[in-house]
Amino acid sequence: MATAPTQKGVSLIEMLVAIVVFGLAIPALTRNWYDVTVRSSRSEALADAGFYAAQMMEEITARRFDEELNPPWTPEAHFGPETGESGWDAFDDVDDFDGYVNTTSDGFTRTVEVDYIGLNGTQWEASAQESDFKRVAVRVSKPQAGVVNVTMTTIIGRY
């Protein structure tokens, strides 16, 4: 008895079904890939901003507390580099960095703010007069990276 030949291959209907299934899956996969890419680049930008903030904070905390070696300290109105000084040598104490702004080679902007603070009970508060403590805040931002903002704050005492 003779057997009927078996057909091998893909029919036109099977091919169309496969194309429709892939057509429905590709937009979902593309969207997920885009989301992962965006989150990954934002995470990288946040890590870079944290690095730049820490780098700036290390530069500042390596300096002495004030231009004066003993109280009275420099009035807050005179924070910033002293007149006549220029370049990196102008930043010889913590408060010289107040108002410092620079942009890194890859577009991050670093801003520094220094002010006197005092302890009121259990809370640190801005002080209207000179005290033995200064608060240093370093802010790093990069708007092009999807609004990346990192702030690092520390308190430096004269002790």
Please write the tens of the pLDDT for every residue from 28-60: 888 888 888 888 888 889 999 999 999 999 999
Question: Residue 4: its pLDDT value, please?
Answer: 64
Please state, in angstroms and rounded to a whole number, the distance separating the CA atoms of residues 68 and 72: 8
What residue spans define the domains of the chain?
Answer: 12-157
The torsion of the CA quartet 86, 87, 88, 90, rounded to 10 degrees, works out to 10
The answer to whether 156 and 136 are in contact (CB under 8 A) is yes
* pLDDT at residue 1, rounded to an integer: 61
Residue-level pLDDT at 38? 80
Q: Mind listing the pLDDT tens digit for each residue in 63-89? A: 999 999 999 999 999 999 887 777 888
Confidence bin at 3 (pLDDT 50/70/90): low
**Per-residue model confidence as pLDDT tens digits over 96-115:** 999 999 999 999 999 999 99
